[in-house]
Amino acid sequence: MGFTTRCCYLLAKIADLARKCDAERIGEDSSVCDSWTPSAQVAEQAARLKKEVEESMKQDPVPCKHIHKAGDVKKWDKREMVATNSAYHWAALVQLYRRILGRRSEDADVQEAVENIIVCLLRIRPGGTAESCLLFPMFTAGCDTQSEDHRVLILNRFTSAEKHGMTQVCPSPSPLFPYIMVVSCTVIALVPYFFIAPNGIFLGT
């Protein structure tokens, strides 16, 4: 998929801790506690995870064994693989900041990570194989970007990926929630992000 197995492992760890924090931060009536802060123990875990993600980001991605066996290595552009790997790491940090540390969308660290996801996205060709692997980072950036231009860019790339055989995202009947993500991997659940982006407005209408 373009990102390292180490990244996948870290995403799973972040997802597990995020779900526990969501259980505290989001009430049974789906209301979000804006004053929620993580415990000292959780904050310490988050700091360790952040360091691990930053270290992992420095590792070059390597094509999976099944890609080698299928003879598809030449189809994967090295620069796009690096961009995809970086995008997933930055998305992991957004999840960590927002769902584990409870930071607001406009937080400087959150926005730095979002901006870097956009930079990675711009390094990947529209309609290419790598684009369809970027759904999770694109969705993550779309939820928290403060730029309308970036929302339009991301929505256009979702549309592009949809035209080239994308099956992980399908159109939604709601005009306020233009796409529903149906990712089969176990990294991050979609549902909590509905609460992060009230009314489902994350990519524009």
Domain boundaries, given as residue ranges, for the chain: 5-25+37-196
Residue 179, judged by CB atoms within 10 A of its CB (0-12, 13-18, 19+), counts as buried
What confidence score (pLDDT) does residue 30 get? 82
What confidence score (pLDDT) does residue 75 get? 58
Radius of gyration of the chain (CA): 17
What confidence score (pLDDT) does residue 158 get? 85
pTM, two decimal places: 0.77
Asked if residue 163 lies in contact with residue 196, where contact means CB atoms within 8 angstroms, the answer is no
**Three-state DSSP class for residue 171:** strand
Q: Could you tell me the CA-to-CA distances from 123 to 65, 79, 112, 143 in Å, in that order?
A: 24, 8, 17, 20
What confidence score (pLDDT) does residue 189 get? 40
Tens place of pLDDT per residue across the chain (205 aa):
556 788 888 999 999 999 999 999 988 888 888 899 999 999 999 999 999 999 999 887 765 554 545 555 555 678 888 899 999 999 999 999 999 999 999 999 999 999 999 999 999 888 777 777 888 899 999 999 999 999 999 988 888 877 765 554 445 444 434 444 433 333 344 334 443 344 344 443 3
